[in-house]
A = this chain, B = another copy of it.
């Protein structure tokens, strides 16, 4: 069996896993990419799905489609639930076992609500297509319900939107909801003025976009405030209920009545990380990331790579941790693929080095900040750069054109065509479709009749 083809199993079709698979395209190895979902998701644009600017399919590419012309690679739809490290097998939920010679684990991260898992029900995060359509439904439904209510207190509660966490995702969500309220929906309602919506961005740190240079943070804050977003830094969220968020700041406790909270604060690595750590004795940090060797393998397991948001990697100084962003995962995926091939040829493997090209975040229409390695800038130019780079990294060519086309239309008209309140219907419950969103409308008192018989204003 000395001649058997080396089997590489990759868990996860995100930025890390997909780049690893693609880097193995011309190698004499047998690649199996396992994912729970049948598509690669371009997560950096999820917030545009959550605010109705793009459709889910525009930022998702079927994995089979992306890898169809790569004959040494098969895609398997499956849910990995465990590892048999000594037997060199991955175990799936249905009991299937997949053998490997080299394993790349790139299962990403989910949300962390720290010690408050009960907050999740009231404050969805933004990691999956379903998260995005759930947030879209909640945001749009809040305006719909406000239109039907006369009571100013109820209306205010419905038109308060709170985003927790002012990293790139939180900043982008706040900006996009503000655009929605001030421009897209401007003429859509008859009883309410959507522009009266209050959009509050809460951040625990002393400034927004902490990883960026303080000058850019300040610029982003000014831009957000200009767009009508209330930016509250140094705010520690202490409670999230169905109809209120509570935070502390400067020793004061503030309660914001709201039904719509978006969680953009904490992430936690896939639980597969803990399984691997238990099996190999590797260390985990508080966010569930697994400490990897300089070559991204686990200590004592040269055949076991962990990359992307699951890995606690470091800059060459050995101290600073790598951020959980797409470029790190992409470079690690390519590196792991190359390391496997080099080891097969008994060539030496250099430690992984992240080439940091900088960070960017958009704030709204024609506004962004870019913190590149050699230059920092904001405004229109940064926004164009952001558009260009994000378009470039969208995997499928057709999607690239579709997104470009929709962005162009959205820019011209400030419209967001994908403003659909779709339902939480289920195959098991075909009746769900007949009473849309009742769980949401029951959270507020029934509207008075005056609200619906008033003449249009």
Interface positions of A (Cβ within 8 A of B): 5, 7, 30, 32, 36-39, 52, 55-58, 60-62, 64-65, 68-69, 71-79, 93-99, 120-121, 124, 128-131, 134, 138, 140-141, 144, 147-148, 185, 187-191, 396, 398-399, 401-402, 405-406, 409, 413, 415, 417-428, 430, 433-436, 438-439, 441-442, 446-447, 449, 452-453, 455-456
- Given A55-B58, A417-B57, A456-B72, are A38 and B5 neighbors across the interface (CB < 8 Å)? no
A427 engages B439 (CB within 8 Å): yes
List B contacts of A434 (CB < 8 A).
Answer: 36, 79
Contact, CB under 8 Å: B134 / A65: no
Instruction: Across the A-B interface, give the 4 residue pairs with the lowest CB-CB distance, nearest first.
Output: A57-B418, A55-B55, A64-B188, A130-B425
- Of the candidates B32, B76, B398, B418, which one forms a contact with A409 in the assembled complex, judged by CB atoms under 8 Å apart? B398
| In-complex Cβ contact of A430 among B120, B401, B421 (8 A) | B120
Q: Which of A79, A141, A147, A456 has the most CB of B within 10 A?
A: A456
Query: A384 CB to closest chain B CB, in angstroms?
Result: 22
Closest B-chain residue to A447, C-beta based? B96
Copies, count:
2
Q: Which of B61, B71, B433 contacts A456 (CB 8 A)?
A: B71
Return A98 CB to nearest CB of chain B, in Å.
5
Q: Contact: A415 with B398, CB < 8 Å?
A: yes
Residues of B within 8 A of A131 (CB): 433
The listed residue (B74, B77, B144, B433) touching A130 by CB distance below 8 A is: B433
- Asked whether A129 lies within 8 Å of B422 as measured between CB atoms, the reply is yes
**Residues of chain B with a CB closer than 8 A to A455's CB:** 5, 30
* Docked-complex contact B435 and A93, CB < 8 angstroms: yes
CA gap between A189 and B74 in the complex, in Å:
7
Residues of chain B contacted by A64 (CB below 8 angstroms) = 185, 188-189
Find out whether the CB atom of A77 lies under 8 angstroms from the CB atom of B144: yes
Interchain CB contact under 8 A, B93 and A134? no
Q: Find chain B residues with CB under 8 A from A185 CB.
A: 64
Chain B positions within 8 Å of A427 at CB level: 121, 124, 134, 138, 424, 439
For A187, list chain B residues within 8 Å (CB): 68-69
Chain B residues whose C-beta falls within 8 Å of the C-beta of A71 in the assembled complex: 456
Name the residue among A79, A130, A138 with the largest chain B CB count within 10 angstroms: A130
